[in-house]
Structure 1
Amino acid sequence: QPIFRGKRGGPLSPNIIRRVVQQARGKLGISDKTTPHALRHSFATHLLAGGADLRSLQELLGHASLSSTQVYTAVDAAHLLDVYQNAHPRAD
């Protein structure tokens, strides 16, 4: 079942989401790179960084296959490596 619903109780349409994000960008002066897809990607990455498991994330994102969700583990691993290299005294 959809978490966020429209006025009539059904799932929100992609056009509504795009329009709301576009309006928010205009009001807040945010870059055009802030798209619904970018927000979705950020959401998934933050959940993984916070300890969410892949199966739960797969369900939240509505992915049919786990391999689609596993893409986000590479982003998280890259972030961890960056933190390590910037913080560890013996990092190369």
Structure 2
Amino acid sequence: MIENEVGITFGNIKLIFPIEGIECKILKLGSKIWKPGKLRIQVILKNASIQTMEFELFYDEPPQPESPLDDIRQREDYQRLLNNQ
């Protein structure tokens, strides 16, 4: 017989599973090649009900730039040149 009750109230709870991701293949729109990657699921609970559910896809290795100019555009000196205009 339980004489006392303890109520616990939680705010938002974020569940991420599995942390390391699930192995999968990712096909980017417009591409013809499937690339190895991982899927991770994030669920946010509020008062024991699901508020949001997100599916995150990420590559095992960084994707190659789509344009040879992408690497140049990311360089610090290029960004400084753009900011000085």
TM-score by length of 1: 0.24
Relative contact order, higher structure (CA 8 A, sep 6+): 2
Flag the structure with higher helix content: 1
TM-score by length of 2: 0.25
